[in-house]
Amino acid sequence: MKCELRKHLRPAFGSLSVEEITPQLVSEWAVKWCRSGLSVKSVKNLIITLNLIRKYAELPYFPAKSVTYPSQSEVEEEPPCYTQDHVVAIVAAAKGWQKVYFATAAGTGLRAGELAGLRIETGDVDLGKKLIHVRRSVSEGKEQSPKSRNAYRWLPIDEDLVAMLKAHIGDRRFGYVFQSRNGSPVRLNNILRRVLHPILKKLGVPMAGMHAFRHHRCSFLVEHDVPVAAIKQRLGHGSEQMIRRYTHHRPEYHSAILAKIPSIFSAQNEPKPALLVPNSPKTEVERKEKIA
């Protein structure tokens, strides 16, 4: 509930009294929250918390049908996804451990909480075998289990990322792979506010969060013909529907595919090969001669 208050309810209604928060206003924010990436179920949880606040203020709950939740068409906006150029520019602009942090996000597609939960002593980053194991997540600075059963997984990493992680970890044998000065796991809000968003603003890249790295990774794997089963395993998803939602094809990708396909107009102009049946007469004269 603290997270709901800080991330959603206070930014939306913090300047209003509880009496001023009407069902119509909440319905408008329900659409905005869904467009920002929240599910309808998560939005309904926000309304539950909001109703508890109303109860504390000795106000009645919102009537069941007074808050309307958005339809699929109202929230169907393409979620943020960094392009390959964006990723290269972001990693180049970052400094120190933050460069490795963004490179790992782009090279693995891990969720921000999964990145923050990587520990050294438990072998979560196996540089010898070039593997990363996801065994936990971190939210609001506290460890918790990964998002789902599919989120427990291992995934391979390439040589470049192995080298970056090896230099970043150095001789450390304990602690989080990405941690603050006091050894606690990094907090997503600090990363966004202090590092990522200033970099995006400087580069002129549309404002987005860490999840856009995850969308980029999925799209990158799809464009390079990685099997869907392998993509599901690497991203920790159980359905192909989520893979389709996470996939954003660049125009260049479709142009490359189109270049491999012959034009229907040039195909029409090509001479058609003669269909000859072996040992069959080609003319009426030859047919009669053969009969004779």
Which amino acid does the sequence have at 33? W
Say if residues 69 and 40 touch (Cβ distance below 8 Å): yes
Highest averaged pLDDT of the listed ranges 152-161, 232-241, 278-287: 152-161
pLDDT in tens, 40-49: 888 889 989 9
Strand order through the sheet with 131-134: 125-126, 131-134, 153-156
Average pLDDT in the chain: 85
Residue 225: pLDDT above 60? yes
Of 84, 89, 72, nearest in space to 203 by CA = 89
Q: What is the DSSP string of 107-122?
A: HH---HHHHHT-BTTT
* Residue 222 to residue 243: CA distance in whole angstroms: 9
Residue written as token pair 């408008």 = 28
Output the six-digit token pair for 201.
Answer: 């603003």
pLDDT at 274 over 60: no
- Residue spans of the domains in the chain: they are 2-75, 89-211
Superfamily of domain 89-211: Intergrase catalytic core (1.10.443.10)
* Whole-number Å distance between alpha carbons of 38 and 227: 28
C-alpha dihedral sign at 67, 72, 74, 80 = positive
d(CA 275, CA 278) in angstroms, rounded, equals 10
pTM (two decimals): 0.66
Confidence of residue 30 (pLDDT cuts 50, 70, 90): confident
- pLDDT, tens digit (0-9, with 9 covering 90-100), for 136-164: 999 888 999 988 888 999 999 999 999 99
- Directed axis angle between helix 84-93 and helix 211-223, to 10°? 130
DSSP-assigned states of every residue in 153-217: EEEE--HHHHHHHHHHHTT--SSBSSB-TTSPBPPHHHHIIIIIHHHHHHHTPPP--THHHHHHH
CA distance 113 to 240: 22
